[in-house]
Amino acid sequence: MTGAASWRRAEVVAVRPAGSHGRILQLRVDGWTGNLAGQHVDVRLTAEDGYQAVRSYSLASAVPGDVIEMAVDEVADGEVSPYLVEDVRPGDELEVRGPIGGYFVWTPEHAGPVQLIAGGSGVVPLLAIARAHAESPHAPAMRLLYSVRSPADAFYADELQELVGDVFTVDWAYTRSAPTPSPRPVGRIDAATIAASTLPPSAHPTVYVCGPTPFVEAVADLLVSAGHPPERIRTERFGGT
């Protein structure tokens, strides 16, 4: 994992839909040797006139090798995400820089239970953590609370359900429409959701929260109010501050 500050050539090797308006991309990156679960990359696009745009994207992958996986949610009027979701094809080339980040990561050496909380495409680095957790022979208890507008908007829904087992569980929160029957009313995550669908403070979990900035800030406040120590809450956010 050397040369994280350098831009590398990345070839798109596979694409598939994600949710209702997103896309999963697999990229083969020159000189890439792997990354930790929870890290991200910068992606740079260069137009014919030389104009460049750079955006950061979390990685869903955390395995050795030169292929990385990221999932992109299209942002209306965005400079980068519409191209990645609508236009890019296998064989196209991008530039990436990374892996980046050392705070919002999980490794099999992590001691103690883990609570993951995702909003929308914020599930991407948490999926990387869940994948790494599934490959660990002595993994601690891990629970994911995933908030999406509707079932159609979820990223990696089928895979998340396949990962459910003795030490990994998934709870869903739907903010606009829910399947029938649904274990909780439609609405945003609130104090009752935190109490019913997350590991309690008494379990001393490390909590990872990822999603849009307003979502992350609201959830972090709810966790602290519920009794979780702030130093055990790790956050990754995107969008405006």
Q: What is the mean pLDDT of residues 145-169?
A: 96
- Judge contact between 38 and 125, C-beta under 8 A: yes
Tell me the per-residue pLDDT of 99-138, one tens digit each, with 9 for 90 and over: 999 999 999 898 899 999 999 999 999 999 999 999 998 8
Q: What is the mean pLDDT of the chain?
A: 93
Quote the CA–CA distance of 12 and 99 in Å, as a whole number.
Answer: 17
| CATH number of this structure's domain 7-100 | 2.40.30.10
| Residue where the block lists tokens 């903010």 | 175
Quote the CA–CA distance of 207 and 199 in Å, as a whole number.
Answer: 9
Domain ranges of the chain: 7-100, 114-238
Q: What is the pTM of this model?
A: 0.94
Phi, psi of 27 (to 5 degrees): -125, 135
Nearest Cα to Cα of residue 61 among 110, 28, 21, 102: 28
Higher-confidence position of 28 and 239: 28
Cis peptide before 229 (omega within 30 of 0): no
| CATH number of this structure's domain 114-238 | 3.40.50.80
Residue-wise burial string across 205-220, b where 16 or more C-beta atoms lie within 10 A, e elsewhere: bbbbbbbbeebbebbb
